[in-house]
């Protein structure tokens, strides 16, 4: 099939590459010429395991192309995926300007039947707005009778595992208008190679499809905030949240997955989708009790590591040096959006500390966003980037771990103890056994477990 993907970010690029891999002819459009230049040069603008190989293979085969040329992109695909950003507006609602701009471009230039597919995460009712935008542009051109379909096809991939999630999905949700058999058939055949088990392709009405995406992310964020709140209580009571996680998760109705207390959730989805759902609920006259609480717990959780450091060293951190391992909002990505490390670093340098930070892939992106957060170059604020986890430890008083990259899981503990002046580790991801850390002479504080 001929497919256009509008927006070549995390979701658009993965979607385009994986659809090309199945033999489709995909053209990816972006308004950011820098991204398209990188892609045309044989690279990819993000870190995502396994993606570069698929992009290169399909680009070389001529099935995957990249452009900034809007008329070409509209002419190319019968299926037009909209995968642009939907960032939070000032009031928390999803900002639809990029989605609607993409829809208008399609209406302004299309000459034959198109399926306009909302892949971006968008509030219930957005498909109607997309339809109205396309229709409006067609009518301006006197082509009001031109047929097109609007479909909702929210994306559930996780960064760091995006290729696997897209190619072996738990489910694919497709929302179509009642009676729009043509669009339903096209979507079914497009996804058939990915959902051999046909039960995994869920076709429903458009509003339910749009709502499903928010409900899923809100449920997952709620689990995390719930565990984070319990972790603080566990610490106060002397219980171990890891034992509790396994204890409750053994009940299949709960399950042990995605139940880890930590440094707070970040990323491009949970924070904004929780806010947007709260906004939708308020606008519908049914304000959500839960979404505000989920968000408030998370904001507080992002401060927990800094609070532990302050409890140990006092409010004034001048003259102290902290090694920080992990900056990305989760492992296997360079994405710094809403990363808990940003809150930690701002707190440390505000109190006068020096920071030696290390992340396997996110340092460059971290330097960019920290400069914006702090209003100055990170080095001027006292943040230095180390080339390795070991280098970050040199001359540090203590280590703070924010992101659970695999390479942090089994460090040389003797060397760790020898290098840290205070032999102190604050672990925001519960990577190590407290008793083992103690046996190496380390003072160890983690999340929701007794300090040793």
337 labeled part of a ligand binding site: yes
Beta carbon of residue 32, minimum distance to ligand NAD (angstroms, whole number): 4
Q: Which of residues 258-287 bind ligand NAD (CB under 6 A)?
A: 268-269
Which residues pair with residue 150 across a beta bridge?
A: 116
Beta carbon of residue 271, minimum distance to ligand NAD (angstroms, whole number): 11
- Any contact of residue 31 with ligand NAD (CB under 6 A)? yes
| CB burial readout 273-301, b (16+ within 10 A) else e | bbbbbbbbbbeeeeebeebebbbebbeeb
CA dihedral 432, 402, 160, 250 (to 10 degrees): 50
- Any contact of residue 101 with ligand NAD (CB under 6 A)? yes
Identity of the residue, 160 or 382, whose beta carbon is nearer to ligand UDX in the bound complex = 160
Q: Which of residues 229-268 bind ligand UDX (CB under 6 A)?
A: 258-260, 262, 265-267
The tokens for 154 are: 């929210």
Q: Which of residues 110-139 bind ligand UDX (CB under 6 A)?
A: none
Decide if 269 is catalytic: yes
Per-position x/- string for 38-57, each x denoting binding to ligand UDX as judged by CB under 6 A, each - no binding:
--------------------
Identity of the residue, 262 or 378, whose beta carbon is nearer to ligand UDX in the bound complex = 262
158 labeled part of a ligand binding site: yes
- Any contact of residue 157 with ligand UDX (CB under 6 A)? yes
Residue 198 and residue 270 in contact, taking contact as beta carbons nearer than 8 Å: no
Active-site residue (options: 51, 59, 269, 437) = 269
30 labeled part of a ligand binding site: yes
First to last CA, the chain: 59
Identity of the residue, 271 or 382, whose beta carbon is nearer to ligand NAD in the bound complex = 271
Identity of the residue, 301 or 333, whose beta carbon is nearer to ligand NAD in the bound complex = 333
Applying CB under 6 A, what is the total number of residues that bind ligand NAD?
26
Beta carbon of residue 165, minimum distance to ligand UDX (angstroms, whole number): 7
- Any contact of residue 26 with ligand NAD (CB under 6 A)? no
Please give the Cα distance from 330 to 267 (Å, whole number): 8
Region of 25-33, 151-159, 181-189, 416-424 interacting with ligand UDX (CB under 6 A)? 151-159
Residue 226: contacted member of ligand UDX, ligand NAD, none (CB under 5 to 8 Å, by partner type):
none
Residues near ligand UDX, by CB under 6 A: 155-159, 217, 220, 224, 258-260, 262, 265-267, 269-270, 329-330
Catalytic residues: 269
Please give the annotated binding residues for substrate, written as ranges: 156-159, 213, 258-262, 266, 330
Please give the annotated binding residues, written as ranges: 30, 35, 86, 121, 156-159, 213, 258-262, 266, 272, 330, 337
Please give the annotated binding residues for NAD(+), written as ranges: 30, 35, 86, 121, 159, 272, 337
């Amino acid at each position: 099939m001929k497919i256009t993907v509008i927006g070549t970010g995390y979701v658009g690029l993965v979607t385009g590459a994986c659809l090309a891999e199945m033999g489709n002819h995909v053209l990816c459009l972006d308004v950011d010429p820098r991204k398209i230049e990188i892609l045309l040069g044989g690279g990819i603008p993000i870190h995502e395991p396994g993606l570069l190989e698929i992009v290169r293979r399909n680009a070389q085969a001529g099935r995957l192309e990249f452009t900034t040329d809007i008329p070409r992109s509209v002419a190319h695909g019968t299926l037009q995926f909209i995968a642009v950003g939907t960032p939070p507006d000032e009031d928390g609602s999803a900002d639809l300007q990029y989605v609607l701009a993409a829809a208008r471009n399609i209406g302004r230039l299309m000459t034959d039947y198109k399926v306009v597919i909302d892949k971006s995460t968008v509030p219930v009712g957005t498909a109607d707005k997309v339809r109205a935008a396309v229709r409006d542009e067609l009518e301006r051109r006197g082509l009001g009778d031109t047929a097109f379909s609007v479909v909702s096809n929210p994306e559930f991939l996780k960064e760091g595992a995006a290729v696997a999630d897209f190619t072996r999905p738990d489910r694919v949700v497709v929302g179509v208008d009642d009676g729009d058999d043509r669009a339903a058939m096209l979507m079914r055949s497009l996804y058939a190679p990915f959902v051999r088990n046909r039960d995994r392709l869920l076709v429903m009405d458009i509003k339910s499809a749009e709502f499903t995406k928010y409900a899923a992310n809100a449920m997952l964020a709620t689990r995390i905030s719930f565990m984070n709140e319990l972790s603080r209580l566990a610490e106060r009571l002397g219980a171990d949240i890891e034992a509790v996680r396994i204890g409750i998760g053994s009940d299949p109705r709960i399950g042990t997955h995605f139940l880890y207390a930590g440094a707070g959730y970040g990323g491009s989805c949970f924070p904004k989708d929780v806010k947007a759902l709260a906004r939708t609920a308020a606008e519908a006259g049914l304000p959500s009790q839960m979404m505000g609480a989920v968000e408030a717990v998370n904001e507080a959780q992002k401060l927990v590591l800094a609070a532990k450091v302050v409890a140990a060293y006092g409010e004034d951190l001048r003259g102290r040096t902290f090694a920080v391992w992990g900056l990305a909002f989760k492992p296997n990505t360079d994405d710094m959006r809403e990363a808990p490390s940003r809150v930690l670093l701002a707190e440390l340098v505000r109190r006068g500390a020096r920071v030696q930070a290390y992340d396997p892939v996110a340092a460059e992106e971290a330097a960019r966003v920290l400069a914006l957060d702090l209003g100055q170059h990170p080095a001027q604020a006292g943040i230095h980037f180390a080339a390795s986890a070991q280098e970050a430890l040199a001359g540090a008083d203590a280590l703070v771990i924010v992101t659970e990259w695999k390479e942090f899981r089994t460090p040389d503990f003797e060397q760790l103890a020898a290098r840290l002046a205070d032999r102190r580790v604050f672990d925001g991801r519960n990577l190590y056994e407290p008793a083992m850390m103690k046996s190496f002479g380390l003072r160890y504080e983690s999340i929701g477990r007794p300090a040793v």
